[in-house]
A and B are shown apart, each in its own frame.
Chain A
């Protein structure tokens, strides 16, 4: 009897690529460029959190809508995350008694 070591809340490369509507090689490339997060198990396979699908969608929008290259998309994603965090902190600070 063999047991599959599967993390049910994560997607493998094939499932993730299918859900994102991308070729698995492009997904692998996005991981190598450091713009989507993946964890690597002991056999070298990539696993993705479902939340990364939203990141892929954002990458596609930035690329199609603004013509950004992948290096600048990485930077833009970082900055957008930073803005979100700062805006949240600002909101908290403005709230009375906060």
Chain B
């Protein structure tokens, strides 16, 4: 509901805006927030607010009444004089003190007040007719199914691997709603998860649209994702790379042993078959561990001596065949 927000604010126009300005603002906003143009779940509610605001402000007579009586103007009978209303509000506030809102009955007027309360509140809830139902196509079209909506959902690589239950918060009718979503194992970046019937509301009991959650795989500290293949760095000491070794590497599915063959240089990719993201329909991805030789920043005395011996004995030239 837009009741707690100012109609002028919703349309983004000043209170003294001309009817042309109001129409211009409405047309532009309606075009960008229409549920079929904008599939953000919050857009549907904004579109309704915009339509409601325009409904009131586009008619000079209801606009005048809105200006005078504020958001409750529909509850004030047509023949109430704005000045009398203002005085009654002030009087009500004075007697009712801090409790409740003025104009709701249950309070008395001071002795000097000449306004008849019944007269003032006679139209309460009765004066809703007027311009009749809301603007909107449903009047001519009967029930209209709701539009589909799209929202992003961020999923970590671990969640994509194991599957997860997540809560998504979406703006919707009556404030934020939380949805429990099951992320199946093996979702990929950009995949859409359909939540049937969680999209835009249909009018007059027509079926609601669907909500599509577009999976965004969050960047990870250690893994890079390419399709279902995971890429990770495998940091090796020079002697490990030269002599070969077996290294424990953390993967989303638990620790895996990587056999590093002797003579491995930086950049060599070691494939761990099936250790990437699972695939519900076929072969799982692989984990590709890229060798990265790391040398100690500072050598101990013994290490330095050994490296010097190695340098003297080796006839390996890494730049020979360039």
Which A residues are within 8 Å of any B CB, using their own CB? 28, 31-35, 71, 74-75, 78-79
User: In the complex where A34-B25, A34-B27, A71-B27 touch, is A78 in contact with B32 (Cβ < 8 A)?
Assistant: yes
Please name the residue on chain A nearest to B28 by beta carbon.
A34
A79 to B36, CA, bound (A): 12
| Interface contact A33-B37, CB-CB below 8 Å | no
| B101 in contact (CB, < 8 A) | no
Specify the main secondary structure of chain A where it touches its partner.
helix
| Interface contact B37-A34, CB-CB below 8 Å | no
| Interface contact B37-A31, CB-CB below 8 Å | no
Residues of B within 8 A of A33 (CB): 23-24, 27
Which bracket fits the contact residues of B? 10 to 19
Specify the main secondary structure of chain B where it touches its partner.
helix
A-B contact pairs, 28 of them (CB 8 A): A28-B20, A31-B20, A31-B24, A32-B20, A32-B21, A32-B23, A32-B24, A33-B23, A33-B24, A33-B27, A34-B23, A34-B24, A34-B25, A34-B26, A34-B27, A34-B28, A34-B31, A35-B27, A71-B27, A74-B27, A74-B28, A74-B31, A75-B31, A75-B34, A78-B31, A78-B32, A78-B37, A79-B37
How many residue pairs at the A-B interface have CB separations less than 8 Å? Answer: 29
Residues of B within 8 A of A34 (CB): 23-28, 31
Of all A-B residue pairs in the complex, the 5 with the closest CB atoms, nearest first, are: A34-B27, A32-B20, A34-B28, A34-B24, A32-B23
A35 to B26, CA, bound (A): 11
Nearest-Cβ distance from residue B237 to partner chain A, whole angstroms: 35
A33 to B28, CA, bound (A): 8
Residues of A within 8 A of B25 (CB): 34
A79 to B32, CA, bound (A): 10
Residues of A within 8 A of B34 (CB): 75
Residues of B within 8 A of A35 (CB): 27
Nearest-Cβ distance from residue A75 to partner chain B, whole angstroms: 5
A35 to B20, CA, bound (A): 13
A56 to B183, CA, bound (A): 49
Nearest-Cβ distance from residue B57 to partner chain A, whole angstroms: 14
A41 to B27, CA, bound (A): 21
Residues of A within 8 A of B23 (CB): 32-34
Residues of B within 8 A of A78 (CB): 31-32, 37
